[in-house]
């Protein structure tokens, strides 16, 4: 997705039971290998990312990276 090969990271997330998906109207609209500093998540919308972050049982490591230019998602996280 977005031009980066992530299949190995996704496979690790599945094997480690940390990968999650968000579904909307019967199709996958986002996924996360885990929510944490050394993981990644992608969603079609901010609502997809909010669902992934909000449903995470834990945040791995010291936190996660979030572009501050995404004001909607950044302010929701605060």
| Structural domain boundaries in the chain | 7-77
Q: Read off φ and ψ for residue 27, nearest 5 degrees.
A: -135, 150
Neighbours of 31 (CB within 10 A): 20
Give residue-wise pLDDT tens across range 9-35: 999 999 999 999 999 999 999 999 999
Residue with tokens 């290998």: 33
pTM listed for this prediction: 0.88
Backbone angles phi, psi at 44, to 5 degrees: -70, -30
Q: pLDDT tens digits, residue range 2-14?
A: 677 888 899 999 9
Per-residue confidence (pLDDT) for residue 16, from 0 to 100? 94
């Amino acid at each position: 997705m977005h031009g980066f090969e992530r299949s190995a990271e996704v496979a690790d997330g599945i094997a480690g039971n940390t990968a999650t998906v968000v579904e909307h109207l019967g199709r996958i609209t986002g996924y996360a290998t885990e929510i944490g500093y050394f993981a990644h998540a992608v969603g079609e919308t901010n609502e997809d990312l909010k669902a992934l972050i909000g449903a995470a049982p834990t945040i791995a490591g010291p936190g996660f990276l979030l572009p501050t230019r995404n004001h909607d998602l950044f302010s929701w996280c605060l």
